[in-house]
């Protein structure tokens, strides 16, 4: 049974940045109700309204993983680890984006899968075998016919974006060698609760995983966890290492039982924990609005930094508009001169001078706080301050 614990109101589609501002309508289905539930049986957290993937992931997907040094550094480290620990002859990435990870591998070793054609073009142009497809059984069979099997399959921040998880894991199991490894990496629901980062919910994040839910999910496909790594990326993620249950060559590390017992201790198996989270989110919204109002009463100039999908949820939930935030800055070329979805706030291509005369910066990309603080030493030195809602609304 799926029980609702969070209602973030009517929301536009994240990552759909409009060229000019227009008021979106519920009638025309330009807005959808963002409600989140907890399945008491499977322990899986998911959205009630699921937007078809063909609408979300098209030929104009603006997000590029390579836009942050934190992510490119993390992928470089991971590539070294994968080569050392598993030494794959053939490596497949589901959701290869602009190639931020696979650029660390040899071209003859890698298969990229990427449904957004603008991104698939990038890895194709660089000479990597790229299937511009959604991940499903058809594609898995097509690759199987050509390569027979794959040693390591990896996917970061992608499987949680796919509605049909049964097909996802069936297609993976279909292609993986008998002693093959699956590595997946996604925001951790435990961290999401601890940090009150309700902005992890938007249409693309159909699911938010926990070790508890992943364990149950993969069991149906005779797969099991054998290691878990905690990562700082994307506000606290988990990297799950998965093998076939009948593969006895690999030992199960105690990182798995430790993570599961931490989640159980925190109450991730009980609906009450989720209900409390929902109540705290309402308080967070009111406190953030108060901060903005107080600063605007003093005529302070506020801008946003990082036109993230996450910020889309916050702005639309808290009803923060261009009366509060003058503009957003972002390094992503495809976001520049566009508007934050559902809001009349313009996004400008990042340059340092856009921070001149700014008093406060709202951290849309709070998950890259350290990288941004390092970059904006000058702003901080002249007394500039940041606003964040994570783990609670405050001025830094
Ligand atoms: O799961 C998803 C994650 C991985 O990426 C997708 N569904 C969509 C996207 O979510 P997001 O937009 O919330 O992700 P990020 O990685 O928090 O986005 C950071 C944004 O901030 C990018 O647009 C780049 C920008 N940025 C910047 O302008 N200057 C980032 C840094 C670090 C900077 O210094």
Query: How confident is the model at residue 187, as a pLDDT?
Result: 98
Distance 347 CA to ligand 1 centre (A): 13
The atom of ligand 1 lying closest to the CA of 62 is: 23
Residue 81's pLDDT band, with cuts at 50, 70 and 90, is very high
The b/e string for 338-362 (b: 16+ C-beta within 10 A; e otherwise) is bbbbbbebbbbebeeebbeebebbb
Q: What is the mean pLDDT of residues 281-308?
A: 98
348 lines ligand 1 (CB under 6 A): no
The atom of ligand 1 lying closest to the CA of 157 is: 1
For residue 391, whether the previous peptide bond is cis, meaning omega lies within 30 degrees of 0, is: yes
Query: How confident is the model at residue 264, as a pLDDT?
Result: 98
Distance 308 CA to ligand 1 centre (A): 5
The atom of ligand 1 lying closest to the CA of 186 is: 1
The b/e string for 109-145 (b: 16+ C-beta within 10 A; e otherwise) is bbbbbbbbebbbebbbeeebbbbbebbbeebbeebee
By the 10 Å C-beta count (0-12 exposed, 13-18 middle, 19+ buried), 374 is classed as: exposed
SS3 content of the chain, % helix, strand, coil (to 5): 40, 25, 35
Residue-wise pLDDT tens digits, 334-343: 999 999 999 9
Count of C-beta atoms within a 10 Å radius of residue 32: 17
Edge to edge, what strands does the sheet with 176-187 contain? 129-131, 110-113, 91-94, 150-156, 176-187, 237-244, 223-231
Distance 390 CA to ligand 1 centre (A): 16
Report the alpha-carbon angle 161-162-165, nearest 5: 125
- Please give the model's pTM, rounded to 2 decimal places: 0.96
Distance 138 CA to ligand 1 centre (A): 31
The DSSP secondary-structure symbol of 18 reads B
330 lines ligand 1 (CB under 6 A): yes
64 lines ligand 1 (CB under 6 A): no
114 lines ligand 1 (CB under 6 A): no
Report the alpha-carbon angle 237-243-246, nearest 5: 155
Please name which of 354, 352, 337 lies closest in space to residue 302, comparing C-alpha atoms: 354
Taking each helix axis as running N to C, give the angle between helix 137-147 and helix 165-175, from 0 to 180 degrees, rounded to the nearest 10.
Answer: 10
In order of start, what are the domains of the chain with their CATH numbers?
2-37+272-395 (3.40.50.720), 44-268 (3.40.50.150)
Residue 88's pLDDT band, with cuts at 50, 70 and 90, is very high
CA distance 93 to 108: 14
The atom of ligand 1 lying closest to the CA of 202 is: 7
301 lines ligand 1 (CB under 6 A): no
Q: What is the mean pLDDT of residues 41-45?
A: 98
Distance 318 CA to ligand 1 centre (A): 20
Distance 147 CA to ligand 1 centre (A): 34
Query: How confident is the model at residue 65, as a pLDDT?
Result: 95
Q: What is the mean pLDDT of residues 283-287?
A: 98
Query: How confident is the model at residue 276, as a pLDDT?
Result: 98
Please name which of 165, 187, 166, 177 lies closest in space to residue 92, comparing C-alpha atoms: 177
CA distance 315 to 313: 6
295 lines ligand 1 (CB under 6 A): no
Residue 152's pLDDT band, with cuts at 50, 70 and 90, is very high
Residue 42's pLDDT band, with cuts at 50, 70 and 90, is very high
CA distance 358 to 49: 38
306 lines ligand 1 (CB under 6 A): yes
């Amino acid at each position: 049974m799926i029980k609702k614990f969070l209602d973030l109101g009517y929301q536009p589609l994240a990552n759909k940045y409009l060229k000019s501002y227009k008021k979106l309508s519920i009638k025309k289905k330009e807005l959808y109700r963002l409600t989140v539930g907890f399945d008491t049986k499977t322990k899986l957290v998911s959205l009630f309204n699921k937007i078809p993937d063909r609408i979300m992931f098209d030929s104009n997907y603006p997000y590029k993983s390579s836009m942050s040094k934190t992510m490119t550094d993390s992928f470089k480290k991971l590539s070294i680890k994968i080569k050392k620990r598993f030494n794959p002859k053939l490596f497949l990435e589901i959701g290869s984006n602009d190639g931020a990870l696979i650029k660390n591998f040899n071209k003859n070793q890698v298969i990229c899968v990427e449904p957004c054609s603008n991104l698939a073009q990038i890895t194709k142009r660089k000479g990597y075998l790229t299937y511009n497809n959604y991940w499903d059984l058809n594609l898995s069979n097509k690759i199987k016919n050509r390569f027979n099997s794959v040693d390591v399959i990896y996917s970061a921040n992608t499987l949680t974006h796919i509605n049909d998880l049964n097909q996802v894991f069936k297609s993976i199991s279909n292609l993986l060698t008998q002693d093959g490894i699956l590595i997946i990496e996604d925001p951790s629901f435990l961290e999401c609760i601890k940090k009150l980062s309700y902005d992890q919910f938007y249409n693309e994040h159909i699911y938010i995983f926990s070790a508890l839910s992943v364990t149950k999910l993969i069991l149906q496909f005779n797969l099991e966890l054998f290691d878990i790594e905690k990562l700082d990326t994307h506000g606290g993620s988990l990297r799950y290492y998965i093998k076939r249950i009948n593969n006895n060559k690999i030992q199960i590390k105690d990182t798995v039982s430790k993570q599961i017992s931490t989640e159980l201790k925190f109450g991730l198996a009980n609906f009450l924990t989720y209900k409390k989270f929902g109540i705290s989110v309402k308080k967070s919204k009111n406190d953030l609005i108060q901060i903005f109002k107080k600063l605007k009463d003093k005529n302070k100039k506020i801008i946003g930094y990082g036109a993230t999908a996450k910020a889309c949820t916050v702005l639309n939930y808290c009803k923060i508009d261009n009366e509060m935030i003058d503009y957003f800055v972002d390094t992503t070329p495809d976001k520049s001169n566009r508007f934050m979805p559902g809001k009349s706030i313009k996004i400008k291509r990042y340059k340092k001078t856009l921070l001149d005369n700014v008093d406060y910066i709202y951290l849309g990309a709070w998950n890259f706080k350290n990288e941004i603080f390092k970059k904006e030493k000058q702003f901080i030195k002249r007394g500039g301050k940041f606003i964040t809602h994570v783990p609670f609304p405050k001025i830094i």
